Chains A and B, each alone.
Chain A
Amino acid sequence: MSGSGPVGDGEPAGGLADEPGKDGAGPGPEEPAPRRRRTIRERLKRARVPAIPEAMERRRLRRSVERLPLERPEGELLLDVEDLRTSFSTPRGMVRAVDGVSFSIDRGQTLGIVGESGSGKTVLSRSIMGLLPAHNVERGGQVRFEGQELTGLPSSEMRHIWGVEIAMVFQDPMTSLNPVMRIGRQITEGLRYHLGQSAGEARENAVALLQSVGIPEPERRMRQYAHELSGGMRQRVTIAIALACGPKLLLADEPTTALDVTVQAQILNLLQEKQRERFMAMILVTHDLGVVAGRTDEIAVMYAGKIVEKASTPVLFTQMRMPYTEALMRSIPRVEDHSHTRLLAITGRPPDLVNPPPGCRFAPRCPYAQERCTVEEPPLLLGDTEDHAFACWYPVGTKEGQAALERNLSAGRPQTLAAVASTQVAS
């Protein structure tokens, strides 16, 4: 259906790809650097170290995740999210959809945010972007982009960030493309508004963009409407729109969930290719660990509004510590599965975010859960390696974890039995 074979290596695409490159390698790092250094120092002062008495935890207590960016070359830091909180006031009460999330991304880096539906990842991506409804929303924490504080910016100023600095690809290209506007116009309007291009220039660039995202006959597509394209084509168009003004960061919110299985990989490859070509940072939000497997530098696993485990991709896949990550891992859809298969391996449902349970939020569904998990919330702490953080009292693959699992198994905890049973079925 969508001609993806000769996905642009070379051709006119190169011309456009230059733009972000200029930003990334050019004067960018020098100028804002002093400012950034200051903010980091400030943060250092405020970095709070949770006090946990047990000796076992003290081993991991060396450094909280908030301080992670310190280890990186400073000029590279692009986006820095700190203690981000977003709550909705609903008739039932305040819903803490994102509850104290911190992470950072360097230029050209990719971060995968993975979580079950309901983990708050979509709200997270919209919070970073500042695209939440105006009413009934309470937000807290900081989002810094190139050292500039974005939270609290009025939309008249956010406008110069949106599209130009941070762009977004939405879940369903059918609903995110304007049904009554020609494709071409939807691409050129950003070019004309932000970059001040003439109608002719914008047109040429739009055609080149369409070509670079692997759309055949771009000239003809320019005059078409969204409903005349296939699903994969549409998502290619929204990617072209997102790339138009050369953003430094691309937020892809479940970019393949609404697509046909056969097209999903094509779109993901396209995103990855564009990300590398333009040295653009990317946040890939998905419910499917399989999607981010080979495509991200780092992965953050979210559960009930919090990050529960964060590691570089290979580390996460080989040494997961959080039982939730393990459960997710087991639920990676296999080739023979339907594309929307539920994460069957995890019994129960995500917690009610109006009244989250005390202690670990995953505890009610966790095969490893102990008494302590239901009372005391585990903090997100660095583990054995520098780039691996997780929030668990009885981590997978540790002595404590193994002991907890066995205790639960002999006590006949249903969640544990189910998890073990499903492992046996799978293997």
Chain B
Amino acid sequence: MGLIARKLAGLIPVLLAVSALTFLLLNLLPGDPAFAILGPSATHDAVIKLHHQLGLDQPLLVRYGHWLAHVLTGNLGRSYLSSQPVLSAIKERLPVTVELVLLSQFVALLFAVPLGILAGRRPNGILDRVSTGGAFGFLAVPNFVLGVVLVYLFAVRYHLFPATGYTPLTKDPFQNLRSVMLPVITLAMAEIAAYLRLLRSDVITTLQEDYIVMAKAKGLPDRRIMLRHALRPSLFSLVTVAGLNFGRLIGGTFIVEIIFQQPGIGLLSIQSIYGRDYVVVQGTVLLIAVAYVLANFVVDVAYGLIDPRVRHATAG
């Protein structure tokens, strides 16, 4: 427990630095939000007045202090454009992104784990050749390329799935699944390829361990050796990478959200960047960065739970 607390404490400077960098970066963006709000023909006086109103005329450090204090109380400011509180905008959009991330990770693991095991079990077999070759190919497909191709194939050519739009889960679960199908496949494909390669090579390594020979010498059936003895030690790196991906993907769905017009965090950020609505951008970037840092932390802690060696090393 003490260790977790210590690791948690170590997160604070990282989060502070992340927030400072977020604030700094977006405050240095050109484009005066005043013009975005008042229109391009605003008078000089009106702009000055608005700057004062928004606190933009104060020194950067002071503004950061104010902002941080607000952030810590859950106040991320209001959008310049829609004057909606940033927090509520995020709350509105976050479920979409989280759904995409969870579903795509689920799909990716669903395919990658059995494929990886089978490929690693019989290296050089047909299944192994096909799946590793396919994985190599899919790793070379950028998600915007895959997205466009999928739209063309499944929406334009054969009208199987809607090309764009999002139906909330609460409204119609079936339509919801249909609407997120293509974005989820787009996101999952590269993950499948990466996970498959990772798991395959780990399975091959594990199967050469002495304790596998020992399990065989015990006369256990192959399937049992695979599932009971080989699988768990082979999963460590996959679990790590998949865990980190949960954090990374919160900020990695931009392109997919744009192609398929999914109203998630990514779309919100991009729209805000286009509109110079930097309060919102700040909020979303902060969210994404924090999600990444937390995912790292969770993986770090969770690692001890799945690997008894780490668990005891840290406990001692």
Binding site for B on A (CB under 8 A): 129, 131, 155, 158-164, 167-168, 170, 172, 175-181, 189-190, 193-194, 225, 227-228, 238, 241, 245
| Chain B nearest CB, measured from A18 CB (Å) | 21
A177 surroundings in chain B (CB, below 8 A): 211, 214
| Chain A nearest CB, measured from B224 CB (Å) | 7
Interface residue B48 (Cβ < 8 Å from any Cβ of A) = no
Indicate whether A176 sits within 8 Å of B228 (C-beta atoms), given known contacts A225-B308, A227-B308.
no
- Asked if A164 and B214 make an inter-chain contact with CB atoms under 8 angstroms apart, the answer reads no
- Asked if A163 and B217 make an inter-chain contact with CB atoms under 8 angstroms apart, the answer reads yes
A-B contact pairs, 27 of them (CB 8 A): A131-B217, A155-B216, A160-B219, A161-B219, A162-B216, A162-B218, A162-B219, A163-B219, A164-B219, A168-B217, A170-B210, A172-B210, A175-B209, A176-B210, A176-B214, A178-B229, A179-B233, A180-B233, A189-B220, A190-B219, A193-B221, A193-B224, A194-B219, A225-B312, A227-B308, A228-B312, A238-B214
Question: Which of B216, B219, B232, B306 gathers most chain A CB within 10 Å?
Answer: B219
- Asked if B218 and A241 make an inter-chain contact with CB atoms under 8 angstroms apart, the answer reads yes
Indicate whether A179 sits within 8 Å of B309 (C-beta atoms), given known contacts A189-B228, A193-B224.
yes
B217 surroundings in chain A (CB, below 8 A): 129, 131, 162-163, 167-168, 170
Indicate whether A179 sits within 8 Å of B308 (C-beta atoms), given known contacts A131-B213, A172-B210, A238-B214.
yes
What is the CA–CA distance of A167 and B219 in the complex, to the nearest angstrom?
A: 9
| Chain A nearest CB, measured from B120 CB (Å) | 14
Indicate whether A190 sits within 8 Å of B220 (C-beta atoms), given known contacts A178-B229, A181-B228.
yes
What is the CA–CA distance of A163 and B309 in the complex, to the nearest angstrom?
A: 27
What is the CA–CA distance of A164 and B233 in the complex, to the nearest angstrom?
A: 26
| Chain B nearest CB, measured from A224 CB (Å) | 9
A155 surroundings in chain B (CB, below 8 A): 216, 222
Question: What is the interface size of chain B, counting residues whose CB is below 8 A from a CB of the partner?
Answer: 23
Residues of B290-316 contacting chain A, CB below 8 A: 306-309, 312
Interface residue B215 (Cβ < 8 Å from any Cβ of A) = yes
B221 surroundings in chain A (CB, below 8 A): 159, 193
CB nearest neighbor in A for B221: A159
* Nearest 3 A/B pairs, CB to CB: A162-B219, A163-B219, A175-B210
Q: A180-B308, A181-B229 are in contact. List 7 more A-B contacts (CB 8 A).
A: A168-B214, A170-B214, A170-B217, A179-B309, A180-B233, A190-B220, A241-B214
| Chain A nearest CB, measured from B189 CB (Å) | 31
B233 surroundings in chain A (CB, below 8 A): 178-180
| Chain B nearest CB, measured from A203 CB (Å) | 17
| Chain B nearest CB, measured from A188 CB (Å) | 11
When the two chains form the complex, which single residue of B210, B218, B309 contacts A189, counting CB atoms closer than 8 Å?
Answer: B218
| Chain A nearest CB, measured from B309 CB (Å) | 5
What is the CA–CA distance of A159 and B228 in the complex, to the nearest angstrom?
A: 16
What is the CA–CA distance of A354 and B131 in the complex, to the nearest angstrom?
A: 37
- Asked if A159 and B308 make an inter-chain contact with CB atoms under 8 angstroms apart, the answer reads no
What is the CA–CA distance of A24 and B307 in the complex, to the nearest angstrom?
A: 42
CB nearest neighbor in B for A241: B218
What is the CA–CA distance of A211 and B141 in the complex, to the nearest angstrom?
A: 59
CB nearest neighbor in A for B214: A176
A228 surroundings in chain B (CB, below 8 A): 312
| Chain B nearest CB, measured from A368 CB (Å) | 39
Indicate whether A159 sits within 8 Å of B219 (C-beta atoms), given known contacts A180-B232, A189-B228, A227-B309.
yes
- Asked if A193 and B219 make an inter-chain contact with CB atoms under 8 angstroms apart, the answer reads yes
| Chain B nearest CB, measured from A292 CB (Å) | 22
B232 surroundings in chain A (CB, below 8 A): 180-181
When the two chains form the complex, which single residue of A162, A225, A241 contacts B309, counting CB atoms closer than 8 Å?
Answer: A225
| Chain B nearest CB, measured from A27 CB (Å) | 22
B214 surroundings in chain A (CB, below 8 A): 168, 170, 176-178, 238, 241
What is the CA–CA distance of A172 and B221 in the complex, to the nearest angstrom?
A: 23
When the two chains form the complex, which single residue of A179, A194, A227 contacts B211, counting CB atoms closer than 8 Å?
Answer: A179
User: B208-246 vs A: 1/0 string, CB under 8 Å?
Assistant: 011101111111111010001100110000000000000
A225 surroundings in chain B (CB, below 8 A): 308-309, 312
- Asked if A170 and B213 make an inter-chain contact with CB atoms under 8 angstroms apart, the answer reads yes
Indicate whether A159 sits within 8 Å of B220 (C-beta atoms), given known contacts A178-B233, A179-B233, A189-B228.
yes
Question: Which of B216, B222, B224, B307 gathers most chain A CB within 10 Å?
Answer: B216
What is the CA–CA distance of A131 and B215 in the complex, to the nearest angstrom?
A: 11
| Chain A nearest CB, measured from B29 CB (Å) | 49
B312 surroundings in chain A (CB, below 8 A): 225, 227-228
What is the CA–CA distance of A256 and B217 in the complex, to the nearest angstrom?
A: 19
| Chain A nearest CB, measured from B97 CB (Å) | 34
B222 surroundings in chain A (CB, below 8 A): 155
B306 surroundings in chain A (CB, below 8 A): 180
Question: Which of A158, A167, A175, A178 gathers most chain B CB within 10 Å?
Answer: A178
